[in-house]
Amino acid sequence: MAPQRRGAPKASDGCGATERGRRNSSKGGRAPRDVRKKWLRVVVLGACTALGGLLLRGHLGVDEDGVTEVLASRSEVLPGRFVEVPCSEDYDSHRRFEGCTPRKCGRGVSDAVISRDEAHRIRSIAEKGLSLGGSDGGASILDLHSGALSVGEHFVNLYRYFGDKIQNVFSEEDFRLYRSVRQKVQLAIAQAFGISASSLHLTKPTFFSRINNTAARTAHDEYWHAHVDKVTYGSFDYTSLLYLSDYLDDFGGGRFVFVEEGANRTVEPRAGRVSFFTSGSENLHRVEKVRWGTRYAVTIAFTCDPDRSIGDPSLAPPGASPTQPH
Ligand SMILES: O=C(O)CCC(=O)C(=O)O
Ligand SMILES: [Fe+2]
């Protein structure tokens, strides 16, 4: 369902009446009074304009970047919302996989795919892994597939670092939960776009992110730039984000924004909320800077190209090298 743009509020009657009344009562011949009236009119008009502007900002959500409409608010529990958008030509420059490569493009948000309990349990996996490292610059990642973990200004490979001892960090249950969440998200995407779930393959990078308001130290910390996933990551055809914390309860700023001419559309994170979209430039997006608190999410990406698929993570992954997400 497409969000409705609300009409601009009409000019306040009170202000209009004041203005009309003053104009009608104006008489010639008394110069100082006229000047006073003129000034009064300027002041009243100015106040009306300012008030009208404030009302308009309130209605449309005008922020420093322009008009913003909320696609998914933190306070609603969405059974599912889907907005179709015309596909970009980005998919034409890649090999096409009929029945999978997007012909129907769009974006969906659902709070019914993953429960809040699952989200909290999966967040504990992220917390456990990220507590072993963390970027100096406010944006840390943990990639359970490759083992990449932000540490200071670099990445280490958790699996290489811990070897067999990784079993003291993560459990089989952690990986089972991760797999089950991935499967549910994959099914939701397939259903929304009318394709078969088996034509979708997990691709890299698929990773947890933890963001706070510490100043960026390297380019990897600069998560807020508008980007197109298909351009940034190459193999992505469908991107999904599972949010693991709550906007305005756990952190401020950090809303997800679909960047569009005319009106940006925001998704306010909520633990358990899945947001998914086709990865081409029809879905240019960015994340607002986190102002306070800590924001957890997991980016789960799918490709139609079987050659670019990755397996689910396991407790004994083959010695992979760290992935460096952008
Ligand atoms: O965390 C988010 O809301 C978006 C992350 C993102 O854009 C990405 O991983 O490509
Ligand atoms: Fe992205």
pLDDT in tens, 109-155: 999 999 999 999 999 999 999 999 999 999 999 999 999 999 999 99
Q: Which residue CA neighbors atom 1 of ligand 1 most closely?
A: 297
Classify residue 247 by its DSSP letter: B
Confidence at residue 31, expressed as pLDDT on a 0 to 100 scale: 52
Q: Which atom of ligand 1 sits closest to the CA of residue 325? A: 9
Q: 51-60, 173-182, 194-203, 226-235: which has the minimum mean pLDDT?
A: 51-60
Q: Which residue CA neighbors atom 10 of ligand 1 most closely?
A: 229
Classify residue 284 by its DSSP letter: -
- Dihedral, 108, 114, 115, 119 alpha carbons, nearest 10: -110
* E runs forming strands in 54-96: 62-63, 66-72, 81-85
Q: Which atom of ligand 1 sits closest to the CA of residue 207? A: 9
Task: Give the ipTM of the model, two decimals please.
Answer: 0.99
Residue ranges of alpha helices (H) inside the chain are 13-25, 31-60, 116-130, 158-162, 172-193, 229-233
Is the Cβ atom of 105 under 6 angstroms away from ligand 1?
Answer: no
Mean pLDDT of 28-54: 53
Give the Å distance between the CA of 211 and the centre of ligand 1.
11
Does domain 66-308 fall under CATH 2.60.120.620? My reply is: yes
Mean pLDDT of 52-79: 71
Is the Cβ atom of 244 under 6 angstroms away from ligand 1?
Answer: no
Q: What is the pLDDT of residues 220-275, one digit of tens each?
A: 999 999 999 999 999 999 999 999 999 999 999 999 999 999 899 999 999 999 99
Q: Which two tokens stand for residue 90?
A: 């980005």
Residue 6 has pLDDT above 70, yes or no: no
Domain definitions of the chain by residue range: 13-60, 66-308
Mean pLDDT of 170-183: 97
Give the Å distance between the CA of 223 and the centre of ligand 1.
8
295 tagged catalytic = yes
Q: Which atom of ligand 1 sits closest to the CA of residue 297? A: 1
Give the Å distance between the CA of 299 and the centre of ligand 1.
6
Q: Rounded to two decimals, what is the model's pTM?
A: 0.81
Whole-number Å distance between alpha carbons of 231 and 238: 13
Q: Which two tokens stand for residue 131?
A: 């507590």
Give the Å distance between the CA of 20 and the centre of ligand 1.
52
Confidence at residue 122, expressed as pLDDT on a 0 to 100 scale: 98
State the catalytic residue, choosing from 81, 255, 295, 308.
295
Mean pLDDT of 29-43: 57
Is the Cβ atom of 143 under 6 angstroms away from ligand 1?
Answer: no
